[in-house]
Chains A and B, each alone.
Chain A
Amino acid sequence: MQKSDESSTFIQTVLSALREKLREEAKEFVIREAAMKILKYVKLLKKDFKIISGGGLYIEDKVKDMTIPVYITFRYPEWIEIKTLLASGTELPPDLANECRVYEFLLRLANDFAELSFTVDSESNLYARQNILVGALSFDVFKEEYDAVVLSAVIFKKEILPRLKKCAKEYEEIRDAYETQIV
């Protein structure tokens, strides 16, 4: 390798490392700003919160006689996630959800009411969830998305859970009767 090539390669390597460092620092700066904003917003909304390991906030929101556990976390690098668990995969396995047409009903609700959004993870845990792009974070957006998650949970607990319990009971009764017949 010639001397000029060597120096050019060396300079490019140094600059590339510097760019990477700056990129990481910029990301850190943006995330820090967003975290500070979120903290300010939950205080403005007078919510009691706990800081959770892994970087996030946990709020137990009270709506009448209901307690809604809300998690506010980062989905790096650019998303903020507000979510609440509605039913675990063991409480509501996919076969029961399908039998009782829960997912279909939730998709209908999402269509009929603004900002209701339900989702299922790979382990069939059911959540109400909203995302905010870090760059689009403002108080009004945060409040709107936070309220939507809480409202989704209230609707699920008040309207869907009782129907689901009834359907699950019927489903189990039918299944038990069917099993007995086979034996």
Chain B
Amino acid sequence: MPGTDRRRGVMRLLLWLLCLAGLLALTAQRLELSYDLGLFLPAPQTPAQKLLVERLGESPGSRYVMIAVPDNAPQILDLARRLQDLPEIQAVLSDLLPPPGSPPEPVFRHRFLLADMDWSEQGLGRALNDRLADLGLGTSAAFERLVTRDPALLSLTIMESLNPGSAEPWLTASGQRVMIAVTRAPAFDMDAQALAVQSIETAVMASFGSLDAARLSGAGVFGVTLRSTIEAEALWRSVWASVALISVLLLFYRSLSVLILAALPLLAGLVSGIAAVSVIFGDVHGITLAFGFTLLGVAIDYPLHYLSRARRESPAQALRVTLPTLSLSALSTILAYGALMIGGASGMAQLGLFSAAGVGGALLTTAWLLPALTPKPKPEKTAVEGVRLVPSLRPGMVGLLFTGALLLAWAGAERPWWSSSLTDLSPVPAGKLSEEREFRQATGAPNIRYLVAAQDPQLDPLLNQAAALDATLNAAVGEGLLEGFAGITPLLPAPAVQRQRQSAIPQTQALADKLARALQPLPFSPEAFELFLADAAASRQLAPLTVDDYAGSEFEALLNAQLYLSADRGWTALFTLQGEPDPVALAAFLKARLPAAMLVDLREASESLVADYRERTLTVLGAVFAVLALLLSWRLRPARAVWTITIVLGAIGFTAAALRWFSGPLDLYQLAGLLLVTGIGLDYALFLGKRDRDGAEHAVFACMASTVAAFGVLAASSIPALHSLGSTVALGSAVCFGAAWLGSRPGRA
């Protein structure tokens, strides 16, 4: 018989491995890690939310790497040269760099279409007189060349209206000078950003001899530093959490084979989770993996229930006793996790599918593979058997639990339940954020919170609207509501406006005559302006400048950041604002002058998005609890079903109230943690609520101890996501255990 058992075990193990290999093969072809955070945001509702989600990581200024260095001009210019040579860097901005002598194409060629020019004899005379005055202040060959082609300096006017930089020296409070490297890659492209940051640091080293004196800031820099610190801390914390978990299991089971057996369902869960997501979604989000594996943590409990039994009973007997409750627990958890799939965001749907499929895989492995591999029971008293000595109290404890939760909730009544601030979620230390703000102020880089937007299904009407908005914002600057702004109008006036300017250019001979008359009283040489006449004649033949004409030019990135096409709402033009505008006054001003324009508060949009998202998740969870109640009352006797739901709800309510009491409003990570606690709580309540719970106590206690140990390690982290998740799950599972344990009596029906 043992021979048959062993053969059966080997056969099943081989089959199981084959299944996993098959799933992995299925996955390998499709697995494509993506880090698009937008996937985790719910479908945006308001125009501002839509704008936020569409432009996530692409808002103007998000590609800025701001570099503060000691104020030493030669070294800074040396650094600027090095940065300009880097393939990762698209442009280098510094107040120490000279402005371009003449504007780049296609702006220069189209200058007479992009700005208004007075072509009358008087107008030409005025421009020429101004240039005569300029010559009295000083001359340079480059300036003189520009004047011969553009006597009214239209091209400079266009460039000036584009440059949003501060006119003051770009200095920080501590006297460092700030320069900006604009990366080619968007801020969310972490690998490219990491390369860019590394290259920038190498350049700083080369120019300044050391990195100590330099400070780097910006969205991409934060992402890169965080990724490396998070990866490092997440790694060593995971290692220690695993060590804690293994130690607890060894303490409870004193068996290496139990450890290995308990790991198999987890492994199967992981593989089936990835396979399910990659088959249905095509790619797997990096965050799905991280969070999904955490949610899968509940699956470690399944083999433990069985293995605790199998210490004293035959595998078949142990399985027969545990499987019904195990299935019910797993099914409830699958329901709870699966609810995430209807949450609205594809990233969350991935997470839900991953965890649900993973729990399913873990359950199947526990039920089908483990009994075939379990050695014969060797009855012996294990170290923690003594747990059974703990007396069980009356169910009145449940009332105590609810009372405690209510008390905690009441005591913290003045605090909001939920935090919607993305800053609270942001793992960027507050000091770094204020440094970033300081650098932005110093350089006049655009405000990243407020934008003004205009939208239209068609591009041409949008460009007209943008021109009107440009004028309105100019008026706002005039009234002191705004320090400055930058939009696309100087680069892309509406085609009709361009054609109108074009038709105002006189015929070649007529212009030559006007110019000659204007030059008459002046000491300028008439031949000096032949290029101007030629350019004006050529401008009459030009087609109006379009978005496509800017492809490949150095204005391309600027335009892409401020003008874009979205599938459902057509074209959007964005205007960036300088300084810290008063949103109420500015919104009122815009409403009065140009109601079509929209002042977008990106922070408000993101907060409302988080709030919407949470609300939807909570609604879905509410529905899930209703379905769970139905499921439990179908499978259990009503009293036990009510008891189970009550215990879980009470434990979650208590945990949430306690977390709010200790650490303030709850964030999204804590919400995710509570979801895991739901799965864990169901498991504990189902097993401890059984009639013959004696056999289950050992397993449930082992589950609780290992969960608290592992998540306790995460709770000690300084990274907000790990801390929130860890503390929620550690506290939650302890509370669930306490509630289920103290709230029940042995032999209770």
Do A and B make up one complex?
no
Q: Footprint of B on A, CB under 8 Å?
A: none
